[in-house]
Amino acid sequence: MLEIGWFSTGRDEAARDLLRIVVNNIEDGTIDGKISFVFCNRNRGEHAQSDRFLDLVEGYGFPLVTVSSKDFKPEMRKEGRTNEETLRQWRIEYDRKIEEAIEGFELDLGVLAGYMLIVGEEFCQRYPLINLHPASPDGPKGSWQEVIWELIENRVTETGVMMHLVTAELDRGPVITYCDFPLTGGAFTSLWEAMEQKRRTMSVEEIEKEEDEEEPLFIEIRKHGLVREFPLIVHTIKQFADGNLEIEDGELITKGEVVTGGYCLTNDIDEAIRPSEG
């Protein structure tokens, strides 16, 4: 049975849904595993959304570990905004605090799903970690919000979601699985046209400030990406639980061979979501 450590900031409903879908697939036997513990980098009371996430975790009865990144050496973290080396050291020290907090828990695979911090190199090397990222392997880095606005800024016509090994380089670890989807046709046609109308008088940055996550094209891109994240994360964890994939010395291994480039699951994911996407 795969012992899973779940890492999340719990910043939105999607973070809760990702945990729910994996738990459901564990309970119905699709994934031969268990949640060994859940780690959150927010303490209760820091944000209403993360409090709901903590409520969900406690409702399941999973061991819950929290270490507030906001409260951990705040002056050092503030300095790190303008000093890359200071920020790198802050990450290492914060990760060491996490290591102390999760010591004693079994961990065969760490899953980062909505975890909004970059992991330092020491932590990556010590634990087998995988991350869900809302873009294609060569797509934008950063949070899902940052990804979508960059897609809009650059008028990108195709994007995707992926699972990758966690390294100290943001969203650029070796790819495990991914799927792509078009940002053209259907509802996208009129939404892109409306966006172009706005861009005649406003920059994308100004549109983002004014409409934020309520911008219609932004919403449509997020909808198509999110519906694919659920089957992708389940499929990927299942491959580790079934012994088809392993992580050795920072590399993805299957049948004794190193995997390069990851597995494209576009057809499988499209088939899985067809009823829900309509």
pLDDT tens-digit map of 56-73: 999 999 999 999 999 999
Which pLDDT score is estimated for 220?
98
185-189's contacts with Cβ under 8 Å and 24+ in sequence apart are: 187/220, 188/217, 188/220
In degrees, to the nearest 5, what angle opens at C-alpha 102 toward C-alphas 90 and 128?
80
Using N-to-C axis directions, what is the helix angle for 204-211 and 144-153, rounded to 10°? Answer: 140
- Band of residue 243 on the pLDDT scale cut at 50, 70, 90: very high
pLDDT band at 120 (very low <50, low <70, confident <90, very high): confident
DSSP one-letter code for 114: S
| Residues 72/40, Cβ–Cβ less than 8 Å | no
Whether the per-residue pLDDT at 274 is higher than 90: the answer is no
Name the amino acid, one letter, at 177: T
Buried/exposed code over 50-76 (b: 16+ C-beta within 10 A; e: otherwise): beebbebbeeeebebbbbbbeeeeeee
Phi–psi pair at 250, nearest 5 degrees: 75, 15
Regarding the domain delimited by 2-277, which CATH topology (the fold level of the hierarchy) does it fall under? Rossmann fold (3.40.50)
Q: Taking all residues of the chain, what is their mean pLDDT, rounded to a whole number? A: 94
pLDDT at residue 171, rounded to an integer: 60
Residue ranges covered by each domain of the chain: 2-277
Q: Is 38 helix (H, G, I), strand (E, B) or coil?
A: strand
Structural contact between residues 121 and 168, judged by C-beta atoms closer than 8 angstroms:
yes
Q: What's the pTM?
A: 0.91
Task: Identify the pLDDT of residue 277.
Answer: 52
129, two tokens: 């970690």
pLDDT for the residue 172: 72
pLDDT band at 7 (very low <50, low <70, confident <90, very high): very high
In angstroms, the Cα distances linking 41 to 8, 95, 156, 236 are 7, 10, 33, 24
Q: What percent of the chain has pLDDT over 70?
A: 98
pLDDT at 147: 96
